[in-house]
Structure 1
Amino acid sequence: MNALANWFDDRTGYRAYLHETLYERIPGGARWRYVWGSTLVFTFTVQMITGLFLWMCYSPSSQTAWESVYYIQYEMQFGWFLRGLHHFTAQAMIVLLALHFMQIIIDGAYKAPREVNFWLGLILMQIVLGLSLTGYLLPWDQKGYWATQVATKLSTMVPVVGPQIQRLIVGGPNYGHHTLTRFFALHAGVLPTLLIGLLGLHIYVFRRHGITAKDPNRAPETTFWPDQVLKDAVACLGVLLVVLVLIFWNAPQHSGELKELADSGRLGEVFGAELGAPADPTEQYSAARPEWYFLFLFQFLKFFKGQYEVYGAIYIPGGVMMFMFLMPFIGRWKLGHRFNLLYMSALIIGAMTLTWLAIDEDRDKDSYKAAVADAHMKSERIRELIEGRQGVGSEGAVALLRSDPKIHGPELFAKKCAGCHRFNAHDGMNGVPEEPATASDLGNFGTREWIRGFITNPAGPAHFGPTVEASFNGEPLGTRFTEGDMALWADENVESMSQREIDSVVEFLVAQGKRQDIAAVNAELATEGREFFENSNDNVQACVDCHAIQPEGEDEELGSIGLAPRLTGYGSEAWLRDFLSNPGAEHNYGDRNAMPAIGNQLSDQQMEILVRFLSRNWYERPDNDANFEAVIAE
């Protein structure tokens, strides 16, 4: 081994370089205050290594970015750990950067002859912040997508060339595929290359002038190896420990299910970095915020409105940075150094205060909390949908989420239906409209409970009752429905029906819909119900006297068209689709209709979502405590 080492040293001279590196003189001895620079190099190295492995599985496209991160987080072996290590080490790097910077200022290591090295450090700080900003977008989730828009729109405030700068950053007039590829190129290529080059230059200049010891006589002079190396190694391990704690932060509250999650390969749902729902440019995310280390700028900008916004976005931050470049000249005098210390202390305290104000403001803002809760719910929902489909599918994750009735059904109901109807007494989104309902409550539409209520009390508050206050085409409805044919039939016939007869008719009508969210039909009871539905007796008028129906397996339709809505397939998606599209058709309400053809206001996808929402046909993870079990329609 010695012969090999001698041969290699003869060819390369590595021993001289190694000696120069390890045996740097440290006046006053090794100290813990010198570890921050080494921890920064350590975190950047971790970023480089983890980033390289993440790169192997990442696909930088607006159609595949989120999907590839989903694969890393939830499918790849220990991908959640790799991504968590990369994410939280980046967070730690910002904190270490601030600590290192303050140590430089306190020790006066920015003063002559170290001005150039200080300036290199400031440039490195900008590059690290640039890495954080560009990396925030790469998961291509809602939070990163909209928060990046908030940040990059500030560039439009640059005088004269602002719009051109934003267009250059975004890659065009709109945020999309080119924005992602440019940010990825900056994050994985341009900025790391610049950082490596400038870091090497930074270390070279640092070694040229040596360590700035505040008190060189406090202890005997020593060398970098082994004393300072030991302290640096301990500090780096401490940073790694903090990062690991952040990765496994949720372990205590999921301790009872960790084995189950591990066995099912779902540890990524609990550990690592958060992954929100896929970015959707058509759906505004009102809780968009920059990462915590940019929150102070976000909050600071709120103090400037209108034409003065440029001061908060460009002039003042630019002036602060320019002053920092002048600090080596100001610090030549003792009073100047004290001023620099006071200036930086005030700057850090101010940034911390603004960050706290931003967090506290959001903590008390209901709209923000609702948006965060909604985003969290959608991130969990997309995982369920992908598991149910056993993959994302060629249409992409965002299309899968857009077509989900559980997510967008309530929104569509609130927008298109809640002006008249209610959904279990609310508007579908747990809100209560100011105007009273003027039509039936559809929360349990098509269920046994709903049908039984319609048979026994059609004029009740859950069915025709609210129509008394309604109008259609400018004419009040009054008692058109509450004293109409169905209400009169109920008054004259229901008291004469036994409970068995009512249940049988309900079961027969439930059987028409073949709904997957409703418990299996009792075939014997449904057969009795058909018999009762078709035939009058001395006490009860038959349902087919008004309602037409074509029982399954029959060639002919029973009853007459035009007297009341046809009940063939009642409550099914096909029945709902037809009724929503043309409620005034002869086989529906005919000339008695008082409902607008809402289907004409919907796209095909919207109609599909609304129909499946009302019939409760959406996928639920089998282990969920749901009131129904459905599958995604292909």
Structure 2
Amino acid sequence: MKKLFDWLDDRTGYRKITKEALYEPIPGGARWRYIWGSTLTFAIAVQFITGMFLWMAYSPSAQTAWESVYYIQHEMKGGWILRGIHHWTAQAMTILLVLHLMQVLIDGAYKAPRELNFWTGLILLQLVLGLSLTGYLLPWDQKGYWATKVATNLMGLVPWVGDDLQRLVVGGSDYGHHTLTRFFALHAGVLPMGIIALIGAHIYFFRKQGIHTKKPHKKKDGMFWPDQVLMDAVACLAVLITVLVFVRMFHGAHLSAPANPAESFPARPDWYFLFLFQFLKYFEGGREILGAIIIPGAVMTFMFVMPFLGGWKLGHRFNVFFIVVLLVGAGYLTWEAMDADKRNPEYQAALVQSDKDSHRVVELARGLGIPPEGAVTLLVNDPKTQGPKLFAQNCASCHRYDGHDGLGNEPADPQSAPDLLGVGSREWLTRFLNPEHIGTTNFFGNTAFKNGQMVKWVNRKLKNHFKNESEMTDDELDDREELNQVIFAISAEAQLHYQAEVDAADFPDADDRKDLIFDSACIDCHNYEDEYEPGETDGPDLTGYGSRQWLTELISNPANPKHYGENNDRMPAFGEKQMLTEPQIGVLVSWLRQEWYEPGR
């Protein structure tokens, strides 16, 4: 083995290189304050290694990016650990960068003759932040899509070349597939090559000038190996353990719903850019260029000038004071942004909805698989996801769903139409025909029908059907049972999946169910099975009442003679007026009927 090493040393000189790298004297001995550069280099190495393995499973296109990240996070063995390490190490890098910068400035390691080392470090800082920015988009989820769109829009503020620069980064005038591929090229190719080159230069300048130590020395001189190497190794291990703790706590890294340009999202950058997001709020009204370009550019320019000021004792103190004020200010702005979001009910509601969408799309992908059109269609076509949104946008100005707008919010407009939770079900019809309920806001209380024939008939004919059983005569009990059978028969027309078993048990013969409806007083005002010509009756047709077809036709055109005809009260023809597309009406109907995918159902 010795001959092999001798042969290798003869051709490479590795022993001399190793000796020069490891056996470097450290004036004043090894210190914990010197660990930040090594931990930062370790974090970058971890990023490169994990990034390489992630690359093997990642597919950079607008139709496959989210899908491939979903595969890594939820399907690939150990993928969530790999992605989690990559994500949380990126967060750690930002903190380590700040700590390393503070240590360099406080110790004066930026002064002559170490200007080049300091400048390469500042450029490295910007490239690492560039890695974070470009990596944010790669999952192609809602959070990254909208946050990065805001960031690229800021590029348009650069004087003279802003529009061209924005088109160059975005990949054209439209934000989409080419934006993703360019960000991927920057994240996985251009920026890493620049970082590797600058790290090499940074280490070269560092070794050439030697370690800058803070005086006076309280300990005797030591060596880089093994003293400082041991401290660096312990620090790197601590970083890795911290990262793994976060990976375990969050089961990797969060993946929000697939990017959907048709649905807005409350865009926020990641926490390390949040201070700039808040800072820009102070420069609204056409002054964004000050907060986005001019002031940050001036700050960075001043940092490049710091080595020249640091030659004077007062200049060094000012530099340290400046960076402390800068970091405290950034910390305050970050807190201010978080506090404002915490007190913003709309933003909090959007976060809750985003979290629901994130969990739902994973549930759908696992249960139904991802269609060729992409994962975004899972949510677009999902009644449980889109139904409440469509209801809130189009129906909640009049109707309610369990007292809210479908999304859990209180609409601004007062309720003026029935609450549609469970519409067509036995429970809904029972409440509807109860004299205590039909005239309330949950049904006809604020409609044109509040004094109509239906309300009057219910109040007159059914007033004794909903008393306590102890107060009812035998005839009244029989009448109530007969009413219940009619309610159950009409509700069975809806063919609701969640009461299919009881419908089948109560009405094994469809003709018996139809006879109940024909023999009831309902036929006096309602058509059923073409008993009357369309328009001859005042009330809606009870054929298929509450069924998919019935609700679809009602939403498409409530003024159809089959439904309310000329008696229609304000409800627009969402289908005929093209206020909703056929697929949207279908999704809304499915949601009202509670027909959506659930695991195990």
Q: Which residue of 1 aligns with 2:549?
A: 574
Tell whether 2:345 aligns with 1:392: no
Shift of 1:491: 7.2
Alignment length (residue pairs): 583
Q: Secondary structure of 1:248's match?
A: helix
Cα distance in 1 for residues equivalent to 2:434 and 2:111: 89
Equivalent AA in structure 1 for residue 210 of structure 2: G
Assess, with a 3 A threshold, how the Cα gap between structure 1 residues 607 and 19 changes in structure 2: closer, same or farther: same
| Aligned positions of 1:228-377 closer than 5 A | 228-249=228-249, 270-286=250-266, 288-377=267-356
2:575 to 599, 621, 627: 599
Cα distance in 1 for residues equivalent to 2:533 and 2:442: 24
Q: Secondary structure of 2:445's match?
A: helix
CA contact (8 A) 1:42 1:236 kept: yes
1:438 to 409, 416, 436: 416
Tell whether 2:451 aligns with 1:479: yes
Assess, with a 3 A threshold, how the Cα gap between structure 1 residues 217 and 416 changes in structure 2: closer, same or farther: closer
Tell whether 2:481 aligns with 1:509: no
Shift of 1:412: 1.3
Cα distance in 2 for residues equivalent to 1:77 and 1:228: 37
**451-460 or 507-516, which deviates more:** 451-460
Cα distance in 2 for residues equivalent to 1:524 and 1:369: 45
CA contact (8 A) 2:415 2:441 kept: no
Equivalent AA in structure 2 for residue 566 of structure 1: D
| Aligned positions of 1:71-470 closer than 5 A | 71-215=71-215, 217-249=217-249, 270-286=250-266, 288-389=267-368, 391-457=369-435, 459-461=438-440, 465-466=444-445, 468=447, 470=448
Assess, with a 3 A threshold, how the Cα gap between structure 1 residues 480 and 194 changes in structure 2: closer, same or farther: same
Cα distance in 2 for residues equivalent to 1:201 and 1:3: 34
Q: Secondary structure of 2:256's match?
A: coil
Cα distance in 1 for residues equivalent to 2:402 and 2:131: 48
**485-494 or 563-572, which deviates more:** 485-494
Q: Which runs of 5+ in 2 are unaligned?
A: 467-474
Cα distance in 2 for residues equivalent to 1:488 and 1:442: 25
CA contact (8 A) 1:419 1:437 kept: yes
Q: Secondary structure of 2:41's match?
A: helix
Cα distance in 1 for residues equivalent to 2:442 and 2:32: 75
Shift of 1:498: 2.3
Q: Secondary structure of 2:497's match?
A: coil
Equivalent AA in structure 1 for residue 235 of structure 2: A
Q: Which residue of 1 aligns with 2:518?
A: 534
Shift of 1:273: 0.9
2:558 to 560, 583, 603: 583
Q: Secondary structure of 2:493's match?
A: helix
Cα distance in 1 for residues equivalent to 2:505 and 2:84: 57
Cα distance in 1 for residues equivalent to 2:426 and 2:52: 58
CA contact (8 A) 1:544 1:559 kept: no
Equivalent AA in structure 2 for residue 27 of structure 1: P
Equivalent AA in structure 1 for residue 497 of structure 2: Q
Cα distance in 1 for residues equivalent to 2:405 and 2:271: 35
CA contact (8 A) 1:547 1:560 kept: no
Assess, with a 3 A threshold, how the Cα gap between structure 1 residues 437 and 478 changes in structure 2: closer, same or farther: same
Shift of 1:599: 2.5
Assess, with a 3 A threshold, how the Cα gap between structure 1 residues 170 and 365 changes in structure 2: closer, same or farther: same
Tell whether 2:34 aligns with 1:34: yes
**126-135 or 575-584, which deviates more:** 575-584
Equivalent AA in structure 2 for residue 174 of structure 1: D
Assess, with a 3 A threshold, how the Cα gap between structure 1 residues 86 and 487 changes in structure 2: closer, same or farther: same
Assess, with a 3 A threshold, how the Cα gap between structure 1 residues 449 and 227 changes in structure 2: closer, same or farther: same
Shift of 1:209: 0.9
Q: Which residue of 1 aligns with 2:471?
A: none
Deviations 1:402-424 (A, max 9, x none): 12111221221222222332222
Assess, with a 3 A threshold, how the Cα gap between structure 1 residues 95 and 493 changes in structure 2: closer, same or farther: closer
RMSD of aligned alpha carbons: 2.4
Assess, with a 3 A threshold, how the Cα gap between structure 1 residues 434 and 428 changes in structure 2: closer, same or farther: same
Cα distance in 2 for residues equivalent to 1:229 and 1:463: 73
Q: Which residue of 2 aligns with 1:565?
A: 540
Q: Secondary structure of 1:465's match?
A: coil
Shift of 1:123: 0.8
Assess, with a 3 A threshold, how the Cα gap between structure 1 residues 490 and 109 changes in structure 2: closer, same or farther: same
Shift of 1:512: 2.0
Deviations 1:6-51 (A, max 9, x none): 1111222221111121112222221111111111110011000000
CA contact (8 A) 1:97 1:125 kept: yes
Cα distance in 2 for residues equivalent to 1:440 and 1:365: 30
CA contact (8 A) 2:341 2:348 kept: yes
Cα distance in 2 for residues equivalent to 1:530 and 1:176: 55
Q: Which runs of 5+ in 1 are unaligned?
A: 250-269, 471-476, 536-540, 551-556, 623-628, 630-634
Q: Which residue of 2 aligns with 1:19?
A: 19
Assess, with a 3 A threshold, how the Cα gap between structure 1 residues 461 and 513 changes in structure 2: closer, same or farther: same
Cα distance in 1 for residues equivalent to 2:110 and 2:465: 95
Equivalent AA in structure 1 for residue 382 of structure 2: D
Q: Secondary structure of 2:214's match?
A: coil
Q: Which residue of 1 aligns with 2:472?
A: none
Assess, with a 3 A threshold, how the Cα gap between structure 1 residues 481 and 425 changes in structure 2: closer, same or farther: farther
Cα distance in 1 for residues equivalent to 2:456 and 2:376: 46
Instruction: State the identity %.
Output: 54
